[in-house]
Amino acid sequence: MRTIPVFFLALLVSLSLLASFALAADTAAKPNVIVILTDDQGFGELGATGNPVIRTPHIDRLAGQSVALTQFHVMPVCSPTRACLMTGRYNYRTGVVDTFLGRSLMHPDETTLAQMLASGGYRTGIFGKWHLGDNYPMRAMDKGFQESLVLSGGGLAQPGDSPDPVDERGAYFNATLRHNGQWVKTQGYVSDVITDAAIQFIQQAGDQPFFVYLPFNCPHSPHQVPDEYRQRHGEQDFAADKFPQTGHPMAASHDPDVLGRVYGMIENIDDNVGRLLAKLDEFQLADNTIVVFLSDNGCQQHRGYNAGLQGWKGTPWEGGIHQFCFVRWPAQLPAGRQVDRIAAHIDLAPTLLDLCGVPKPPRVQFDGLSLAPLLRGQAGAWPDRVLCFQWHRGDVPGRYRAFAARRQDWKLVQPLGVGDKWDGKTQFQLYDMAHDPLEMHDLAAQEPDRVAQLKAQYDAWFSDVTGARDYHVPADLPGNTARGPRVADAARLARSGRQLGTERHRLLGGAGRSAGAIRSPLSFCAPGGGRRSHADLRRRRRAASGDSRRSRLRLPRRSSPRGPGAPGSRGQGRDGRLRSAIRRGQGRELAWLWYRMTAARGRSGMVTSKPSRINSRPTRCCVRPLSKSVSVYCASASKPRSAKRADS
């Protein structure tokens, strides 16, 4: 009788060992992945793309060892590109429409590349700029990254910064970043710091394949850079006649100091890329590591060299959306190959999954295609398709507003309506990209049929990618199908939340409220430094409007440690009524609404972006949606408090 259990035990152990050996062999065969993303670097700001002044030897060498996607495109601005890159889907599907004021929050029901690779046995880490949500459940650490060292909101020197004093050289030096959700003080220039963290992560990976996402915050403004890089280029380096004069040439009037700083920031990135690649060689990982290098949008409007392209960051012309993209994998991809088929950010996630042999989850529906056959030179007859790119300010996507629709040989552009307001006017332009890649000659008047065709294809795209989201109403919890009067109330409260966010944004000097990024829920940072109370902000608002009476739209008052508007506190405004409704158990819709409202108006949402000072202790207030209840608690840095739960 005893031999049967022993036999089965031995059998189970043998099967377990075989399974573990099979898994180890499977993961060992998978390539590592590094995606390097720069911030606001233009197509023409590399030596490899024809810039005669900038010094980028390491990236140039990487380009020579890679397959180059010569017709690669991104969105005109930051967060939309990042949402597309992480999901393989157009950003409008993910809920991301802009870069601040709560419009850059990627919906929690989206599945990211990090989550998909993690399910395939990868160790995942992000080091740098996430910009798709700072609060649960939209942080990078909630979306598949097992290790995260990130800056908040849209970048440093923005409202998402920690309350720590800024280094005298600027916010890019000795920055306080979030490491796995906790503030940590770093030492050094931010690009050096995040590269060091990425190298350390790679060194600790062991035999497990890794995915490193290294999104630099540079050369995004403010243009803060170590002196050794800033002083490399003098005014004489930026004379217009030193640069190629093809297409839309460099303007004669520009600021050489700004250009010197931008070039210095990029050259610092180049040195860090060189360090990273050298470590791959040192660790003997280079041959089986896929390295992807690209930028998130066109360069800033610094009037510098833009490779003859029309437009800048924020525009649907080539200067805003055409980017370099280099893919290096020495073990599999031939160096020096150039792929001239149109491609985009939405293609990278399906491509990397294909190259890594990780299956796509059944519920995920990509907009992009795997470019693996093109990269390997096995594509044959590659089908033409239409890629669309659009961005403008505002809460809701607008049809025909600042967009481009691109086929392989033709491109339709409507550039009007980028700003906050749009009068509905359109100016359709058509370019023959096969013979006029720099967009010099508008052929819309000569080719009305082609304009109509591309316009119809854009219409179909717009209806498709915006049809699944209601941008006026906060998204429900995943799986929540409840509807009724409470959702209508939620819509009204959400509109009030957006109005409040706009009001705070105006009062604080239009400094760009990043999603979930504000100094604290109880006090605010003045544009010139220091802190201002809610009462001060109310006085400034009334003075600006010329109205001495209290407005109906009131900022929450400073209140008790239970948070603004908590039951029993003095600040019983909309926040208080909403919190009270949540505590009375009025459904998950209101819990989710509280989260969306606070994030959308510059408040911190689920977890505050910064600690507020209450009773001389740093305190964070949290509202977390649960299946049938809401947990509201304050966690003190010196004495954690137990969670208070209000069951519904």
Q: What's the confidence (pLDDT) of residue 26?
A: 54
Read off the pLDDT of residues 550-595 as tens digits, 9 standing for 90 and up: 333 333 343 334 344 333 434 445 455 555 544 444 444 444 444 4
Can you tell me the mean pLDDT for 76-103? 95
Tell me which of 147 and 2 has the higher pLDDT. Answer: 147
Q: What's the confidence (pLDDT) of residue 648?
A: 30
- What DSSP string runs through 49-93? GT-SS---HHHHHHHHTSEEETTEE--SSHHHHHHHHHHSS-HHH
Domains and CATH numbers, the chain: 32-379 (3.40.720.10), 388-466 (3.30.1120.10), 485-647 (no CATH)
Q: Cα(537)–Cα(532) distance, rounded to whole angstroms?
A: 7
**CB contact set of 575 (below 8 Å; sequence gap of 6+):** 556, 564, 565
Q: Cα(89)–Cα(468) distance, rounded to whole angstroms?
A: 13
Q: What's the confidence (pLDDT) of residue 551?
A: 35
Q: At what angle do helices 485-507 and 534-545 cross, to 10 degrees?
A: 80
Read off the pLDDT of residues 473-526 as tens digits, 9 standing for 90 and up: 554 434 333 333 334 444 444 444 444 444 444 433 333 333 333 333 222 233
Q: What's the confidence (pLDDT) of residue 6?
A: 54
Q: Which long-range contacts (CB under 8 A, 24 or more apart) does 619-624 make?
A: 619/561, 621/521, 621/563, 623/579, 623/582, 623/591, 623/594, 623/595, 623/598, 624/136
Read off the pLDDT of residues 370-421 as tens digits, 9 standing for 90 and up: 999 999 998 788 999 999 999 999 999 999 999 999 999 999 999 999 998 8
Q: Is the pLDDT of residue 364 over 90?
A: yes
**Contact predicate 102/128, CB 8 Å:** no
Instruction: Look at strands 612-614 and 617-625 and give their pairing.
Output: antiparallel
